[in-house]
Structure 1
Amino acid sequence: MGRKDASGASGANLPVDQYRKQIGKQDYKKTKLSLKFERLKAEAKRTNTGLNTLKDAFLVIMAIVFFVLCVYAFFYLNLSTELNMDLDVD
């Protein structure tokens, strides 16, 4: 009630009311920015999950290929030394 009487009598906004409005605007901007930041963070996390899955699949495939090449190299070196030994014996 006191506020209503004060604003009606002076006809203009009190400095306290202006200060409250400025604080309200700043708080709104902060929450708006924080909401935008949280939304972008969640979206980046969602898209990053897809990339991580693709990256993990690529790493697994590369590990399998590396293992197969190691086994191939092992057998190739063993067979090639046996062939050389056969040639030296003759």
Structure 2
Amino acid sequence: MGKKDASTTKLPVDQYRKQIGKQDYKKTKFALKATRLKAEAKKSGTGIRDVFLVIAAVLLFLLCIYAFFYLNLSTELNLDVDLD
């Protein structure tokens, strides 16, 4: 008796997947194509953003090093000059 009841019931995940599949068929081909192209553009666009972030980080690091050396050398030069 228990086997018969267990085989007829479906998992909620399977029912959910079927509902999603039915909703996808209701969409037009143009809408599905546009959604796919939008997702692909988002995936490929992240590479360019990462490149700019890396370049910005390197430039910021170099700017910090430059500022460190500039401040250290400028204070030493001012101490060497006598005002008398």
Q: CA RMSD in A?
A: 2.8
Give the one of 61, 68, 74 matched to 2:62. Answer: 68
Provide Cα deviations, 1:35-64, integer angstroms capped at 9, x if missing partner.
Answer: 544432221111112211101100110000
Once residues 86 and 77 of structure 1 are traced to their aligned partners in structure 2, the CA distance between those partners, rounded to angstroms, is: 15
- CA change 1:75–1:35 in 2 (3 A) is same
TM-score by length of 1: 0.57
2:49 corresponds to which residue? 55
Larger radius of gyration between Structure 1 and Structure 2: 1
How does the TM-score come out when normalised to structure 2?
0.60
Q: Which structure 2 segments of 5+ residues have no match?
A: 1-23
- 50 and 84 in structure 1: CA distance in 2 versus 1, 3 angstrom threshold: same
How many Å apart are 1:88 and its aligned residue?
A: 3.9
Tell which deviates more after alignment, 33-42 or 47-56. 33-42
Q: Encode CA deviations 1:4-41: one digit per residue, 9 max, x unaligned.
A: xxxxxxxxxxxxxxxxxxxxxxxxxx724165444322
Give the alignment of 1:1-90 within 5 angstroms: 31-33=25-27, 36-88=30-82
Partner Cα separation in structure 2 for residue 56 and residue 89 of structure 1: 52
Aligned length: 63
More helix by share: 1
Q: Among the aligned pairs, what percent are the same residue?
A: 43
Q: Which has the higher contact order (CA 8 A, sep 6+)?
A: 1
